[in-house]
Structure 1
Amino acid sequence: MSTVRELKGQIHRLNEIGGIMTAMKNLAFMELRKLERHLEAQQILVERIRYCAGLCLSHFPAAGLEGRPPHRLCLILGSERGFCGDFNQQLILKGQAMLPSDAACGLVTLGHRLNQRDLGGHEVLDQLAGASASEEVEPVLIALVHRLGRLEQLRGPFELTVLFHHPEAGEVRLGEVLPPFADLEPDPPAGSPPLLGLGLPELMLGIGEQFLMAELQRVLYCSLMAENQQRVVHLQGAIQKLEQHVESLNRRSNHLRQEAIIEEIEIILMNQAELLDP
């Protein structure tokens, strides 16, 4: 019977672990619902900024004629917490395949779990903590922009790309953030040019700064949403395996209990037979 008690204790502990994992999965699912709303609003903001930039560039094409900076920087958005499968490993593999191999491309990594990984031959210029919940995205954004500004002071202007998980596409993407609007193809000018209250260089600088903040916040939301999607899937798979293991232990416990009962019955019958034997 001691073996049965040990199995019952093990089953109890596994059920407690299963309850914790279920709670974690439910929290990740709730986080997804919040992030869906935030990401939708952020995408609208980014598109409006791009529309304003496109309007200016269509009437004032010279505003977009800037050379590319000599340095390149890649921001990699990893996970702050675990229980999200191979989320960070996918980033590392895609980074090795998609990023240029020359020394001119430095890295900034975001997320405690990613920061612990070996990223290969690229120089890691800075590492930051990531967001665990949607409420932490804005503080992380402020810290990130501050670090990028410091790197610009130390190294000069740079191209900035972001390697991140896209939640809708279910894949790792490499997006260009700086120079702003490099991929924008303005429509031919229509109507009168917009009346500017600022000088054109000052206006484009301001729009570019707004775009940088909005686009970085958008990709932070994208990454955190994809992380929670993978966390839900990962935890659901772990919960199913744990439940199967608990079911197997229950069957084993029941089998041992039945064997013990049969053994007790056999002993009783043997004793009864001895008493009846003249």
Structure 2
Amino acid sequence: MSGKLGEIEKRIAATHQLDAVIAAMRGIAASRSHEAHERMAGIRATAATAGAAIGEVLAFAPESAAASNPAAQGGEAGGDIGIVVGTEQGFVGALNDALAAQAQRLGGARACQWLLVGSRLVSATAARGVACAWSAPMAAHPDAVPPLAVRIADALYARLATGRRATRVTVLSAQPGESHLSIAQRTLIPFDLARFQVPRRTQPPLVNVAPARLLAGLVEFYVFVELCEALMLSFAAENEARVRAMLAARANVQQRLGDLTQRYRALRQEEITSEIVELSTGAQAARRTAD
């Protein structure tokens, strides 16, 4: 066998190995996306329970609403805070670039402090000149989402506790379940209490905490749950983007395998033809010698 054929065989074997790696990565990403979607039911049930509790407090202490909103704290207005959820790993297409571009547009319209999640996102935003005030690695699995939400909430409230109050807190994150990349923008602060249903009560419930303090605690917890939801959805969207990237990569690998196989067959056919010609020429020469 010639050196060319041996080289092509090695390339075909290496391409088959690459195809196996891509298939494994696609399977892992699909499994993680499915797990993230399963966790959403619990997050939304928690949000519904917290929302019902907020409505209960508003029913007997509506005057506590103003004091419970983090944006209503005293102090000089300090601009906006933007929380952007990106990815820690690659192979997600243009996801981080799209988030960085959206942050750049938002920052151009309003002065923002940026809290960034995901090392890949930090690099993408830095390339666009978006300054990072705080950053953290993105969760590697669904169980890491609640601790990460706690870290983001702590960083957020540490900035809200300063003398310069934030007028708006916005979260940018990718949305799953789309055939193409979709970015969601949600406002955490000002906190919209009007969205919660206020039940009619003839008597207030028995509570051991001042209504304003109770409502403020519930609002903080609800913001935490919203952060969990944004992170979990972003985690699902990241893995869905990785599945799409792996499908595109596998299509390219299959095309390369086809090209290599076709080239191998052509070279092999050339070698066989050359061998037949040599054998035929040798046989004719032997007959002429015998004659």
Shared fold by TM > 0.5? yes
CA contact (8 A) 2:65 2:193 kept: no
How far has the Cα of 1:191 moved from its partner? 3.0
CA contact (8 A) 1:84 1:234 kept: yes
Q: Secondary structure at the match of 1:118?
A: helix
- Matches of 1:48 and 1:184 in 2, distance apart? 16
CA contact (8 A) 1:54 1:184 kept: no
- The question of 1:50 aligning with 2:51 is answered yes
CA contact (8 A) 1:58 1:187 kept: no
Q: Which residue of structure 2 aligns with residue 38 of structure 1?
A: 39
Q: Which residue of structure 2 aligns with residue 129 of structure 1?
A: 137
How far has the Cα of 1:196 moved from its partner? 4.1
Distance 1:3 1:136, change over 3 A: same
- Matches of 2:103 and 2:17 in 1, distance apart? 39
Q: Which residue of structure 1 aligns with residue 4 of structure 2?
A: 3
Distance 1:122 1:265, change over 3 A: closer
- Matches of 1:101 and 1:254 in 2, distance apart? 60
Q: Which residue of structure 1 aligns with residue 86 of structure 2?
A: 78
Gaps of at least 5 residues in structure 2 are: none
Q: Which residue of structure 2 aligns with residue 89 of structure 1?
A: 97
CA contact (8 A) 2:37 2:233 kept: no
CA contact (8 A) 2:43 2:225 kept: yes
- The question of 1:25 aligning with 2:26 is answered yes
CA contact (8 A) 2:51 2:196 kept: no
> Larger deviation: 216-225 or 154-163?
154-163
The residue identity in structure 1 corresponding to 2:14 is: R
The residue identity in structure 1 corresponding to 2:133 is: L
- 1:1-278 superposed matches below 5 A: 1-66=2-67, 68=72, 70-71=77-78, 72-99=80-107, 101-103=109-111, 105-118=112-125, 120=128, 122-154=130-162, 156-158=164-166, 159-168=168-177, 171-180=182-191, 182=192, 184-187=194-197, 190-197=200-207, 198-277=209-288, 278=291
Distance 1:121 1:186, change over 3 A: same
> Larger deviation: 153-162 or 36-45?
153-162
Q: TM-score when scaled to structure 2?
A: 0.87
Q: Secondary structure at the match of 2:113?
A: strand
How far has the Cα of 1:187 moved from its partner? 4.6
The residue identity in structure 2 corresponding to 1:164 is: S
How far has the Cα of 1:98 moved from its partner? 4.1
- Matches of 1:251 and 1:183 in 2, distance apart? 66
> Larger deviation: 55-64 or 124-133?
55-64
- Matches of 2:12 and 2:163 in 1, distance apart? 58
Q: Secondary structure at the match of 2:188?
A: strand
The residue identity in structure 1 corresponding to 2:205 is: L
Gaps of at least 5 residues in structure 1 are: none
RMSD: 2.1
- Matches of 2:263 and 2:7 in 1, distance apart? 11
CA contact (8 A) 1:79 1:111 kept: yes
Distance 1:187 1:16, change over 3 A: closer
Residues matched between the structures, number: 276
Identical aligned residues as a percent: 21
Q: TM-score when scaled to structure 1?
A: 0.90
Q: Which string of whole-angstrom CA distances, capped at 9 and with x for unpartnered residues, describes residues 19-74 of structure 1?
A: 11110110011111211111121012112212221332244332222564623211
Distance 1:19 1:49, change over 3 A: same
- Matches of 2:193 and 2:61 in 1, distance apart? 16
Q: Secondary structure at the match of 1:132?
A: coil
CA contact (8 A) 1:59 1:189 kept: no
Distance 1:259 1:122, change over 3 A: closer
CA contact (8 A) 2:87 2:117 kept: yes
The residue identity in structure 2 corresponding to 1:83 is: F
